Chains A and B, each alone.
Chain A
Amino acid sequence: MQRDVNQALAREFGLSADEYATVLQIMGRTPSLTELGVFSVMWSEHCSYKSSRVWLRQLPTKAPWVLQGPGENAGVVEIGEGLAAVFKMESHNHPSFIEPYQGAATGVGGILRDVFTMGARPIANLNALRFGRPDNPVTKRLVDGIVRGIGGYGNCVGVPTVGGEINFHRAYDGNPLVNAMTVGIARADRIFLSAAAGVGNPVVYVGSKTGRDGIHGATMASAEFAADSEEKRPTVQVGDPFTEKLLIEACLELMETDAIVAIQDMGAAGLTSSSVEMAGKGGVGIELDLDKVPQRETGMTAYEMMLSESQERMLMILRTDRQELAAAIFHKWELDFAVIGHLTDTGRIVVRHQGRIEADIPLAPLNDKAPLYHRPTTETKKQEPLNATRIEDRLGLGAALERLIACPDLCSRAWVWDQYDATVRGQTVKRPGTADAAVVRIDGRKLALALTTDCTPRYCAADPEEGGRQAVAEAWRNLTAVGARPLALTDNMNFGNPEKPEIMGQFAAAIRGMAAACEALNFPVVSGNVSLYNETQGRAILPTPVIGGLGVLDDAATAVGIALPPWLDIVLIGATKGWLGQSLWLREIAGREEGAPPPVDLAAERAAGDFVRGQIASGLVRACHDVSDGGLLVALAEMAMAGGTGARLSVHPRDIPGHAFWFGEDQGRYVLAVPEAGMVIRAAEAAGVPAARIGTSGGRDLTLPDGATISVEALRNAHTRFFRTWMG
């Protein structure tokens, strides 16, 4: 590729006129093609966060247990016993739409590398997926390909996939979301960072060879799709989980030594971003000799090598005297190991190829003068709360329940989980579908992590601030519901085109709501990812700020699940007003998507959660489930199906219509199964938390307060029907 570098090419590379003018000013001359490529990917939305940075700063990121907040490859929190959890979530939305299997697979691979780069052994994967309408013919192919891709990669590397979520909505028809999260465990005093240091130290390339795949992937991920997304297939990378597995083992083996000064994976923008960021953070210069880069294709140009997003590659700065030791480890694992440059004191990145200098850029302005936009925002218009008494229930509780638990957003996800290895490593205490959060024990200890991903996009669309608050609260609630102490979260902000004020307004409001919830729940953000331009032909996705929550249990044996055992009292914790606005009942049964979403009272949330966690710790709670999508009756049905036990419900609420009481989505609530309700209710009263006995468990049927009964068997049949019939 030999092209004249000018403003037209810069625009093609995604740089605005102003941005290109800054490039010219920094360089003092017309940049080379390679240099323009470097600027364009470093300043892409994907790498520079130029539209989101001003807002992300508002998020709380500190707590005594936070060892590393945002800005590194992943976040790190102390979990006790000298150990740290390293975790992050990242999107692979654009590639997964273009090429579902490889897009999703490489999404898993990329986030795994972000975690083991820091010295952590990956112990769990989760994924949050959003798809368009099931009756859109494209959706089935995307679900199938993305699920296969996630499984294909995660199963092969031997990291259990333990949780996640799936939603369907027409707003994702042209832009499915694939958000992958990895959690790893490291020694708290052995965390590896990316700031390069030590002039003269070798720059070492390890892993797979470089090919022409994924060139300009970061730029592709920073623009809307038009109708030509198919043509973008060459920008998607191809995954090799086998090499990734070797890379994990080789890196962790090397990390047992003192050879590594700094390390970073080659993710988006490949060699460019890893070298520029490592040298930039360390305040040093870096010189690369591309002739030394392992290549799997011939005749590659400097531009292609610098922008390739070939997978399963890492860049390391090693101590000069440990180079041979490191090489021996990588050769044992049959991986490429090449010294491709060294650190300098020039503060510049210099790229040589075939005897020519292909790029020579000062790093400080490349990093510091990256564009930062305070884009205009407009607030989403608030909707009035819906008056539940004015919405007629034409169906009755039993029929509505059967329809709700069968709808795509609430039905069993077993078809999906059954393709993900959730048990490899032998430490999975709560598998998908058995508890509100996955629980994974630390090998050889009692200590365990609780993990969840959460977001309710329809709430976010109706009121982004409330939706942001709710997403954080629900993650915190799900961790609490297994008995864990929530510690911190990672976020994956999926939005439309930030150049539109209404989209930027959604973003700003969601951040505001998230920040308030993080603050109130002492639940800081330690890592995250922003995916903008999720639009096709001008239509944006629902605002989807996905929260990946992490909590800790000192003893895995104390974790509780949702499976309802027989002959217990069922107690509802938290206040019920019958909030039907934006509920799934309203959408699926009444056919309306409207009203303000349920508000989250953060003080009540905190009180209820702390109370429930205390009850679980006291050993009295046999099952616990938070009340979320679908409301109370759906939560009870899920507990009954998981436990294979029925229940008799005995509440007749005054002041609230029955359908609003049983299907309303009021926040901050939990259902507990306990041997004796009285004790729990008295303790709740003392803690100022609303609590009421709503029934007893046992038998094979769910008996509703209006006398109708549904067998647990019938519930299960309805619950598993959708995927069974859709996917065959």
Chain B
Amino acid sequence: MKAGIIVFPGINRERDMAIALERSSGRAPRMVWHTETDLDGLDLVVIPGGFSYGDYLRCGAMAAQSPVMDAVRRHVARGGYLLGACNGFQIMVEAGLLPGALLRNASLRFLAMDCHLRVERTDTAFTNHYQRGQVARAVLAHGEGNYFADDATLDRLEGEELVAFRYATPVGEITPEANLNGSARNIAGIYSPDLRVLGLMPHLENLVDPLTGGTDGKPLFDALAA
């Protein structure tokens, strides 16, 4: 897939995302400044992590109003793939591209640590390089990643199998202890109904190199390189 990474002022994991994409695909992604409005020719658009606009109003709220987001909506409407990680997920939720909200972590502290994710389905364009039920280690780095939605929405997400990843123990059990930020039903990431939009809080892009912690995130980018 031809990939582009959107950069808002205050985004800081765009380079990490570019490294991960290039490592799997061999191609450097296009970096898209937030004032651009043309995403033509991109198969995959990525909104990376960071602190867009300092997270000053509410995480992702200001970036969601940015000119480029109309282009992102058009990209999604015409069937393009969209991935958002951390602040990217927050922006997508604020823009109404995915349901729910991301509240402050239950501990009310910034969490910067490894977590484990259970891969909930492996038949999507994002996860088809993972094994079913596989547990992937990932990096958490956020203050507001506590996924929240009303019960009807959560039931629908589960009923339609739109939960992408759940916080789990290293052996794949879904427990309260593994749910580091307090997310509803241990949800770490969700899909849109057509499975072309994925938002998740943890950083799989930071685990693509054995030297910097492991390669549990690489299957995501290998899948997207196809």
Contacts and interface: CB of A to CB of B under 8 A. Distances in A.
B225 to A, nearest CB: 17
B43 interface: no
Given A151-B110, A423-B141, A424-B16, A334 B212 contact: no
B216 to A, nearest CB: 13
Contact of B10 (A242, A425, A431): A242
Contact of B12 (A158, A333, A422, A429): A158
B112 A246 contact: no
Interface in B59-102: none
Contacts of A428: 212-213
A483 interface: no
B205 A156 contact: no
Nearest to A415: B109
Nearest to A427: B212
Interface in B1-43: 9-10, 12-13, 15-16, 19-20
Interface in A543-601: 556-557
A421 interface: yes
Given A428-B212, A441-B211, A156 B15 contact: no
B13 A419 contact: no
Contact of B51 (A245, A431, A556): A245
Contact of A423 (B20, B111, B143, B206): B206
Nearest to B35: A332
Contacts of B205: 426
A243 B53 CA distance: 9
Contact of B15 (A241, A334, A426): A426
A42 interface: no
Given A423-B141, A427-B212, A156 B112 contact: no
Contacts of A55: none
Nearest to A728: B107
A556 B212 CA distance: 10
Contacts of B54: 156, 240-243, 245
A443 interface: yes
Given A155-B112, A156-B55, A419-B110, A424 B12 contact: yes
B112 A158 contact: no
B9 A334 contact: yes
A431 B19 CA distance: 19
A246 B205 CA distance: 23
B203 A423 contact: yes
B113 interface: yes
Contacts, number: 89
Interface in A318-358: 333-334
B110 A426 contact: no
Interface residues of B, number: 31
Contact of B19 (A242, A421, A426): A426
B199 interface: no
A420 interface: yes
Contacts of B143: 155
Interface residues of A, number: 33
A157 interface: yes
A256 interface: no
A158 B7 CA distance: 13
Given A156-B54, A333-B9, A417 B212 contact: no
A418 interface: yes
A419 B111 contact: yes
Interface string B189-226: 00000000000000101101101110000000000000
A148 B109 CA distance: 8
Given A151-B110, A420-B112, A242 B211 contact: no
A426 B212 CA distance: 7
B50 interface: yes
Contacts of B49: 424
A155 B15 CA distance: 15
A181 B110 CA distance: 21
B117 interface: no
Nearest to A156: B51
A557 B210 CA distance: 9
A423 B213 contact: yes
B9 A246 contact: yes
B208 to A, nearest CB: 8
Given A151-B110, A158-B13, A333-B9, A423 B51 contact: no
Contact of A422 (B15, B112, B209): B112
B112 A429 contact: no
Contact of B112 (A157, A334, A418): A418
B139 interface: yes
B212 A429 contact: yes
Contacts of B211: 429, 441, 556-557
A502 to B, nearest CB: 41
Contacts of A422: 112
A441 B112 contact: no
A423 B10 contact: no
A428 B111 CA distance: 17
B10 A418 contact: no
B109 A426 contact: no
Contacts of B113: 418
Nearest to B205: A426
A148 B208 CA distance: 29
A422 B203 CA distance: 12
Contacts of B50: 158
A242 B112 contact: no
A106 to B, nearest CB: 15
A243 B54 CA distance: 8
B181 to A, nearest CB: 12
Contacts of B9: 242, 245-246, 333-334
Interface in A392-437: 417-429, 431
Contacts of B206: 423-424, 426
Q: Which of B49, B56, B143, B212 has the most chain A CB within a 10 Å cutoff?
A: B212
B171 to A, nearest CB: 15
Contacts of A419: 109-112
Report which residue of A246, A422, A556, A557 has the largest number of chain B beta carbons within 10 angstroms of its beta carbon.
A422
Interface string A55-77: 00000000000000000000000
Interface of B: 9-10, 12-13, 15-16, 19-20, 49-51, 53-56, 109-113, 139, 141, 143, 203, 205-206, 208-209, 211-213
26 contacts: A152-B110, A155-B110, A156-B10, A156-B55, A158-B13, A242-B9, A242-B51, A333-B9, A334-B9, A417-B112, A418-B112, A419-B109, A420-B112, A422-B112, A423-B213, A424-B13, A424-B206, A425-B16, A426-B15, A426-B20, A427-B212, A429-B211, A429-B212, A441-B211, A441-B212, A557-B211
User: What 5 A-B pairs are tightest by C-beta distance, nearest first?
Assistant: A158-B12, A242-B54, A426-B16, A156-B51, A421-B141
Given A242-B10, A242-B56, 5 more contacts: A155-B143, A158-B51, A423-B112, A427-B212, A556-B211
